[in-house]
Amino acid sequence: MKQTPFKANITAVGKYLPKKVITNQDMEKLVDTSDEWIQSRTGIRERRKVQKGEATVEMSTNAVHNLMKNHNISPEEIDTIIVATVTPDMILPCSAALIQKNINAVNAWGYDLSAACSGFLFGLESGAALIESGRSKKVIVIGADTMSSILNYEDRNTCILFGDGAGAVLLEPSEEFGIIDSELRIDGSGGEYLKVDGGGSLNPASHETITNKSHYVWQDGKTVYKFAVRGMADISYEVATRNNLSGDNISLFIPHQANKRIIDATAKRLGLKESQIMINIDTYANTTSATLPICIAEAYENNRLKQGDNVMLSTFGAGFSWGAMYLKWGMSTHA
Ligand code: COA
């Protein structure tokens, strides 16, 4: 448990989803799969996909504009921009810089953070540290991924699982509300089970990497599933129990949206009812770094969060990377 004069409090939320909807029936036309298989194994019905020319920076910019529309903040007040993504528009400059320009945050610094599906939670932890230390006053944390840019639409093991999207939150200091506790981990021995081999400094883009399709996501789904169920449930339980949280006093559990069955297993471990769990994997699939901020924004929009609520965030992703966070929700109920 952190002992600091200020907590990092979420004071505004925003999201953006591309317009184009790709249904499971659309996936049936691309690979040997079925709506029934996808829904029963993952909980996914449809996902979103960017149009040509639209990517992570534009989605993030739209999510921050959405945040600013709902919250009285002028761009020059923003001092830090953290962008969690594994699909930046380009290797350099970083997405944070391009977003800074788009939103006219003239006094900001920032950076990109790469931790796959755990990126946003790690970004929140980093933003919280800046707020708690007093170094930053207004931190924008974005989670955004254009997964369609790294999916092999001939590989049924991966292409049905992911979608595109972006979400953003604003962190500000508060004496009363905000992030109270967290536990985060990485373990590179899981690296071989979920990866994009090509296009990095080890295997730079070449004719060979293109021929081998190694610029796409590859995973051993069964192994990832096994580690995800255990990793997410254990760490959520650990953070919950040391803060005396259980099914009785957790208002909303907001998990990473990778597979409905992984979410259900974690929720069961915490003793939660369905009404205490935020789920939107059915409509957006796994948007990697974006699942948590999109869920937070939608939970707020749908009046599922009220001031003082005990909220648990939880995630698992490539690396392996995983974690859980407990926060006291500080925003007044959405009008
Ligand atoms: N449609 C139809 N069949 C498919 C399929 C698809 N889209 N994808 C895989 N299959 C097949 C497999 O080839 C396998 O066939 P086989 O038995 O003939 O080899 C069969 O379905 C069963 O595969 P299995 O891996 O046992 O299914 P599963 O119940 O474990 O579900 C995942 C597969 C990918 C949904 C599941 O393992 C999962 O969610 N893993 C975690 C993935 C993840 O979350 N990654 C992101 C990190 S956060």
* Ligand 1 neighbourhood includes 156 CB (under 6 angstroms): yes
Atom of ligand 1 nearest to the CA of 224: 41
Helix (H) or strand (E) holding 264: helix 260-270
Structure tokens at 259: 């597979």
Our answer to whether residue 207 is catalytic in this structure is no
CB neighbour class for 106 (10 Å; exposed up to 12, middle 13-18, buried from 19)? exposed
**What is the predicted pLDDT for the residue at 185?**
98
Question: Separation of 39 CA from ligand 1 center, angstroms?
Answer: 12
Beta-carbon count within 10 A of 279 CB: 18
Is-catalytic flag, 256? yes
Output the pTM of the full model.
0.96
pLDDT, one tens digit per residue, over 190-220 is 999 999 999 999 999 999 999 999 999 999 9
How would DSSP label each residue in 6-25?
A: -EEEEEEEEEE--SEEEEHH
Look at the block and give the residue holding tokens 């909220």. Answer: 311
Output the six-digit token pair for 210: 């293109």
Partners of 277 in beta bridges: 253
| DSSP character at residue 189 | G
Taking the centre of ligand 1 as the mean of its atom positions, its distance from the CA of residue 196, in whole angstroms, is 18
Q: Respond yes or no: is residue 310 known to be catalytic.
A: no
Q: Is the CB of 122 under 6 A from ligand 1?
A: no
Ligand 1 atom with the smallest distance to the CA of 258 is 44
Q: Check residue 231 and give its pLDDT.
A: 95
- Ligand 1 atom with the smallest distance to the CA of 157 is 8
Our CA dihedral for 17, 7, 322, 90, rounded to 10 degrees, sits at 50
- Hey, how many other C-beta atoms are within 10 angstroms of the C-beta on 207? 7
pLDDT digit string, tens, across residues 101-140: 999 999 999 999 999 999 999 999 999 999 999 999 999 9
Ligand 1 centroid to Cα of residue 225, in Å, is: 9
Report whether residue 316 contacts ligand 1, using a CB cutoff of 6 Å. Answer: yes
Q: Is 317 in the pocket of ligand 1 (CB under 6 A)?
A: yes
Pairwise CA distance, residues 10 & 73, whole Å? 13
Catalytic site residue from 117, 159, 295, 310 = 117
Q: Which atom of ligand 1 is nearest to the CA of 159?
A: 7
pLDDT, tens digit only, all 335 positions of the chain: 556 789 999 999 999 999 999 999 999 999 999 999 999 999 999 999 999 999 999 999 999 999 999 888 999 999 999 999 999 999 999 999 999 999 999 999 999 999 999 999 999 999 999 999 999 999 999 999 999 999 999 999 999 999 999 999 999 999 999 999 999 999 999 999 999 999 999 999 999 999 999 999 999 999 999 999 999 999 999 999 999 999 999 999 999 999 999 999 999 999 999 999 999 999 999 999 999 999 999 999 999 999 999 999 999 999 999 999 999 999 988 76
